[in-house]
């Protein structure tokens, strides 16, 4: 009996980002979720300094605890070719006399990178050039949502509630700090949150109750980004997250979670878990303990926000909420949520295996949709130009 060819999915993880390690874990969760009879998974690991590798040993998370990883037998350098004829990886690209290079064609790419150089549109741009279907947001949506302040500008247009903010450049902070502090205080009141415009995992973020802390917080944020954002801190709020999947006309919002910060975590333990069956899944409460009306409102806003930023594939949409006051603010959109938000989709009856396959299908749909655009537009411009000569160019007949 002839066997159907397996779909070849390249899962790309690691990367030149402060979220490198988180991405290794997410990448392995994704790779482990594909059924082996239907999918061939090709692991692609990008090191901290931006070197690309592939090979079966990269499928084993245990090998990443081992510093000699990149010298392991079976791990080879590779690069993703932008040339549409390759449609995939060039393995061992600088082959010498004793080795040869190879092209590994892939059907779909699955970026599992968090943050810079992965979730920000740069990798997506390379995949567009290569004409390879890929999971997740395209170039524009990735770049946009990677920037917290640009995201807010677009969401305001779409009537999604977000906090006010004030944005300035590192250059203006270094050259005119007093003027920057003055402007912040004219627009916003303490307590404040200071964030690099584009990072993740809470890196470079701080909260300031006073002017000296504001200064210190900006100094920290300025180490991480060229653009810095300051916004009001929400006191006594809770965080609620919702994942969305979809493309084209069909979108679905997940069950909500309340992730717990360390302080919440302790109070949650005091309130609900002490003496009970233990601390098991106390990092988050699923479903979030809020009423149905607020749940639906947050799901609707998530769907609206997802579409406003040209969402495709998956995202986790994070809110700051004050349930009693009915205040909701969308905080950020993560286009490659940690662990793919698998735990939220499980609540919706979607197993990790079903979720990754659904995302691969959506990647193919998005790619097919793009095919409807025309890229080749034939004219006789070149032959006319060659007959007449081009003004100003060498040898032109003017």
Residues that bind ligand ADP (CB under 6 A): 163, 193, 195, 200-202, 205, 231, 233-234, 237, 239, 261, 318, 320, 331-332
Nearer residue to ligand ADP within complex by CB, 81 or 149:
149
Q: Of the candidates 149, 127, 129, which has an alpha carbon nearest to the alpha carbon of residue 137? A: 127
Buried/exposed code over 238-258 (b: 16+ C-beta within 10 A; e: otherwise):
bbbbbbbbbbeeebebbbbbb
Min dist. Cβ of residue 118 to ligand ADP (A): 14
Min dist. Cβ of residue 191 to ligand ADP (A): 8
CA–CA gap between residue 53 and residue 48 (Å, rounded)? 12
Comparing every residue's Cβ against ligand ADP, the nearest one is 234
Q: Of the candidates 265, 17, 213, 244, which has an alpha carbon nearest to the alpha carbon of residue 141? A: 244
Strands (DSSP E) contained in 248-382 are: 250-259, 284-285, 313-322, 327-334
Largest CA distance in the chain: 91
Nearer residue to ligand ADP within complex by CB, 54 or 116:
116
Min dist. Cβ of residue 241 to ligand ADP (A): 9
Min dist. Cβ of residue 256 to ligand ADP (A): 15
Nearer residue to ligand ADP within complex by CB, 72 or 234:
234
CA–CA gap between residue 222 and residue 224 (Å, rounded)? 5
Min dist. Cβ of residue 261 to ligand ADP (A): 5
Min dist. Cβ of residue 198 to ligand ADP (A): 9
Min dist. Cβ of residue 179 to ligand ADP (A): 23
Nearer residue to ligand ADP within complex by CB, 269 or 361:
269
Q: Of the candidates 176, 213, 174, 175, which has an alpha carbon nearest to the alpha carbon of residue 194? A: 213
Nearer residue to ligand ADP within complex by CB, 104 or 148:
148
Nearer residue to ligand ADP within complex by CB, 13 or 193:
193
CA–CA gap between residue 278 and residue 265 (Å, rounded)? 13
Cβ partners under 8 Å of residue 367, min gap 6? 132, 133, 134
CA–CA gap between residue 343 and residue 262 (Å, rounded)? 20
Nearer residue to ligand ADP within complex by CB, 32 or 191:
191
């Amino acid at each position: 009996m002839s066997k159907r060819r397996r779909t070849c999915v390249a899962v790309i993880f690691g990367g030149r980002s402060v979220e490198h390690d988180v991405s290794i874990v997410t990448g392995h969760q994704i790779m482990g979720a594909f059924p082996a009879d239907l999918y061939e998974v090709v692991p692609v690991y990008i090191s901290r300094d931006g070197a690309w590798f592939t090979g079966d040993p990269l499928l084993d998370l245990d090998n990443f605890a081992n510093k000699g990883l990149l010298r392991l037998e079976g791990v080879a350098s590779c690069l993703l070719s932008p040339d549409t004829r390759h449609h995939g990886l060039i393995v061992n690209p600088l082959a010498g006399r004793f080795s040869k290079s190879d092209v590994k064609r892939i059907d779909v790419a699955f970026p599992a990178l968090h943050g810079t150089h992965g979730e920000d549109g740069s990798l997506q741009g390379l995949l567009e050039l290569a004409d390879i279907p890929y999971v997740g947001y395209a170039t524009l949506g990735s770049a946009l949502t990677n920037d917290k302040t640009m995201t807010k500008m677009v969401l305001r247009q779409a009537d999604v509630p977000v906090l006010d903010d004030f944005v300035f450049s590192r250059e203006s902070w270094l050259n005119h700090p007093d003027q920057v502090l003055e402007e912040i205080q004219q627009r916003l009141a303490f307590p404040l949150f200071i964030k690099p415009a584009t990072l993740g995992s809470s890196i470079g973020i701080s909260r300031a109750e006073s002017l000296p802390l504001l200064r210190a917080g900006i100094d920290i944020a300025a180490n991480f980004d060229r653009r810095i954002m300051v916004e009001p801190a929400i006191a006594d709020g809770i965080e609620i997250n919702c994942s969305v999947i979809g493309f084209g006309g069909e979108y679905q919002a997940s069950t909500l979670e309340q992730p717990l910060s360390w302080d919440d975590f302790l109070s949650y333990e005091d309130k609900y878990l002490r003496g009970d069956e233990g601390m098991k899944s106390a990092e988050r409460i699923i479903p979030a303990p809020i009423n149905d009306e607020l749940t639906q409102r947050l799901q609707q806003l998530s769907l609206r926000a997802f579409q406003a930023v040209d969402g495709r594939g998956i995202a986790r949409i994070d809110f700051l909420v004050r349930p009693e006051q009915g205040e909701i603010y969308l905080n950020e959109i993560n286009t490659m949520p940690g662990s793919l938000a698998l735990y939220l989709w499980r609540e919706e009856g979607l197993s990790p295996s079903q979720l990754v396959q659904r995302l691969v299908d959506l990647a193919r749909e998005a790619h097919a949709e793009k095919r409807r655009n025309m890229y080749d537009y034939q004219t006789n411009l070149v032959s006319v130009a060659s007959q007449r000569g081009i003004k100003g160019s060498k040898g032109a007949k003017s």
